[in-house]
Amino acid sequence: MPDPTPLMPALTGSFSSPAGGNPTGAMAEAAYAHHGILGRYVNCDVLPERLADAVRGAVAMGWIGFNLSLPNKQAVIELLDGLAPSAALIGAVNCVQVTNSGLIGHNTDGQGFVQALRVRQDPHGARVVLFGAGGAARAIAVELALAGAASLTIVNRHVERAEEIARIVRDNSRTDAMAVAWDGPFALAADTDVVVNATSIGLAPDVEARVDLVAASILPSMLVCDVIPNPPDTVLLREARAQHAATLDGRSMLVNQAAINVALWLGLDPDRAVMRTALDVAIGDWRHPTS
């Protein structure tokens, strides 16, 4: 753990645009306070053309690390001195450690998902159906493969994006990965262990949008997960509960990625319950329009 000069805070933050509404700072500062760390997290609106200046400024000011969100997750890579193996495979960085040997990029999104998943189910040997092939899906697919998932079926409208992820997984792991074009209600195979919605379907304000799958194909033996943080209780998760399946919401992933960031920067394992409470307060409860 860094040993800041007394009364000099450990400085962290985020560079993204638009930056408003990013709840990661609330979670980080709640963890710092809970663990008695004098630390700050500053949410900064930074466009790609000012990213290099922002990174140089952070280093000059002695920041210990920072996050990147849209549109800077790829652009930051050329500014770094090294990449964690999964960040290199994913091709995107959302967390940077400032170390004595330079700036090291990580991708904690997929790791956050897998860490949340592990509380419910061992990903090793799991047969997974993953909806989506954007940034979140790519990070989750890579981490599931590195965690030893047996198979990944990646279902996406634009199937070529799913094919690219499946190829990365096959080339870099023992996981059996295949892409499927999503052109109608998708029926889950009965031996599926884990189902993940990694699309943006269901994100507020479009809270009644549903993942186009055959609800009756969800079985009680499956764990159904959603990446949507707001609202946390999506149509998919409600359909899964109606089928007596277990569920995992998108806020669990968000909390765990933020916890991994704090662990990388400060070398401590922060209290997730404290961070979840801070997240719930920061995002607030989505009120169902008809309730």
Which residues are known to be catalytic? 73
- In the complex, the smallest distance separating the C-beta of residue 28 from ligand NDP, rounded to whole angstroms, is 14
> Does residue number 68 form part of the binding site for ligand NDP (CB under 6 A)?
no
The reply to whether 254 sits near ligand NDP by the rule CB under 6 A is yes
Decide: is 257 part of the binding site for ligand NDP (CB under 6 A). yes
Q: Does 178 contact ligand NDP by CB under 6 A?
A: no
β-pair partners for 102: 99
CB of 60 to ligand NDP, least distance (A): 29
Task: Report the residue number, 151 or 256, with the smaller CB distance to ligand NDP.
Answer: 256
Quote the tokens at residue 198.
């990694």
Name the one range near ligand NDP by CB under 6 A: 4-12, 49-57, 232-240, 246-254.
246-254
Closest C-alpha to 66, from 80, 55, 51? 55
Among 64, 250, 270, 278, binds ligand NDP (CB under 6 A): 250
Among 59, 203, 215, 246, the residue binding ligand NDP under the rule CB under 6 A is 203
Ranges within 204-233 binding ligand NDP (CB under 6 A) = 227-229
Structural contact between residues 235 and 203, judged by C-beta atoms closer than 8 angstroms: no
Site mask, ligand NDP, residues 106-125, x = CB under 6 A?
A: ---x--x-------------
C-beta closer to ligand NDP: residue 10 or 232:
232
Check binding of 175 to ligand NDP (CB under 6 A): no
Q: Is 99 in the site for ligand NDP (CB under 6 A)?
A: no
Query: Which residues are at the interface with ligand NDP (CB under 6 A)?
Result: 109, 112, 132-137, 156-158, 161, 198-201, 203, 227-229, 250, 253-254, 257
